[in-house]
């Protein structure tokens, strides 16, 4: 007769996506305790399925040796996607705990050539999955304690679907599917794109951010227009005047008018029912 734990472990192994959705609502410490009882393969599948905010919280409480054992069960590219959001010191500690050969493969996946989209991007952005409700998305953003104007939306596999503005969530009913509010016209660029190509992207006429995706469409990070402005003109000599400069001005104006609303919204909206 199967034991209670055998059945639980079987569920975790067979339905990691569904299990991850449950774990995302639990304290990170409880999830960490559960992972200690799983095989590395099962734990790795669960970690890969967690949304980014739940995973970041988990990485903060799981001992480096346990997390290294879990990460070693994944592909180097997956691990690079997880570690790229971490503080340099924390990331290096985890890399040191990995087997040297595997760590080398992860380091190669993390490496980005200078003056490319991969080097310019910020991986620490607010990301939620499209299968959430508006109220769930509000809670995730509030828990992450970030103040981004955009929330990037991916599917369960991490493929970019589009973006939702925080101010739009302010007006949405809590039980509405998040998918109804996704703006899919966000542009995309690969990590190897040059800074000149990034600066010339037509999306700057409409937006102040540009997402970076890999060959499979997985969201790696986002390039703010301010990054191009702060690092100087592109090496090709392309002008930074025009769309990018206009985007920077609009972005600054947006935040001046919206900052006070966003703080109250993120604090209180998850306590409200459907509108």
Between 87 and 233, the more confident residue is 87
Q: Return the DSSP state at 131.
A: T
Phi–psi pair at 124, nearest 5 degrees: -90, 70
How many domains are there within the chain?
2
Shared domain for 130 and 155, answered yes or no, is: yes
List the domain range (segments joined by +) for residue 166: 118-271
124 & 249 share domain: yes
Among 101-105, 177-181, 208-212, 247-251, the range scoring the smallest mean pLDDT is 247-251
Single residue among 62, 96, 111 that ends a domain in this structure: 111
Length of the chain: 275
Same domain, residue pair 102 and 136 = no
Q: Are residues 78 and 195 in the same domain?
A: no
Q: Are residues 164 and 234 part of one domain?
A: yes
Which CATH number goes with the domain that contains 21? 1.25.60.10
Question: How would you class 133 by CB atoms within 10 Å of its CB: exposed for 0-12, middle for 13-18, buried for 19 or more?
Answer: middle
Shared domain for 34 and 86, answered yes or no, is yes
Q: Residue 274 — very low, low, confident or very high, per pLDDT cuts 50/70/90?
A: very low
Q: What is the pLDDT of residues 74-111, one digit of tens each?
A: 888 888 888 887 888 889 999 999 999 899 988 988 88
The residues near 193 (Cβ < 8 Å, ≥ 6 apart) are 116, 117
Round to whole Å and give the CA distance between 244 and 250. Answer: 10
- Quick: pLDDT tens for 250-262: 444 343 334 344 4
Tell which of 111, 134, 154 closes a domain: 111
Q: Is the pLDDT of residue 4 over 50?
A: no
Q: Is the same domain home to 107 and 151? A: no
Q: Which of 111, 136, 171 is the last residue of a domain?
A: 111
Do 162 and 254 lie in a common domain? yes
Q: Which tens digits make up the pLDDT trace of 126-174? A: 888 898 888 888 887 776 656 677 889 998 888 999 999 888 887 888 8
Domain harbouring 196, CATH code = 3.10.580.10
Give residue 22's pLDDT. Answer: 84
Same domain, 124 and 203: yes
């Amino acid at each position: 007769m199967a034991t209670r734990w055998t059945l639980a472990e079987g569920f975790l192994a067979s339905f990691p996506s569904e299990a991850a959705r449950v774990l995302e609502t639990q304290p990170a410490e409880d999830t960490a305790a559960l992972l200690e009882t799983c095989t590395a393969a099962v734990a790795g599948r669960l970690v890969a399925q967690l949304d980014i905010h739940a995973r970041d919280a988990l990485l903060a409480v799981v001992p480096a040796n346990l997390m290294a054992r879990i990460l070693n069960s994944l592909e180097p590219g997956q691990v690079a996607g997880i570690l790229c959001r971490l503080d340099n010191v924390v990331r290096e500690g985890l890399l040191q705990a990995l087997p040297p050969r595997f760590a080398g493969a992860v380091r190669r996946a993390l490496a980005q050539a200078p003056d490319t989209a991969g080097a310019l991007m910020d991986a620490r952005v607010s990301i939620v999955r499209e299968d959430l409700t508006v109220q769930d998305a509000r809670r995730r953003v509030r828990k992450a304690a970030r103040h981004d104007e955009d929330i990037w939306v991916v599917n369960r596999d991490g493929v970019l679907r589009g973006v939702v503005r925080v101010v739009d969530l302010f007006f949405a009913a809590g039980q509405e599917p998040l998918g109804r509010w996704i703006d899919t016209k966000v542009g995309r660029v690969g990590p190897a794109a040059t800074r000149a190509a990034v600066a010339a992207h037509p999306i700057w006429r409409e937006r102040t951010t540009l997402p970076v995706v890999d060959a499979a469409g997985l969201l790696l990070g986002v390039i703010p227009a301010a990054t191009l402005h702060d690092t100087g003109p592109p090496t090709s000599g392309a002008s930074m005047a025009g769309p990018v400069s206009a985007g920077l001005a609009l972005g600054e104006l947006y935040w001046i008018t919206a900052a006070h609303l966003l703080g109250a919204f993120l604090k209180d909206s998850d306590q409200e029912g459907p509108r």
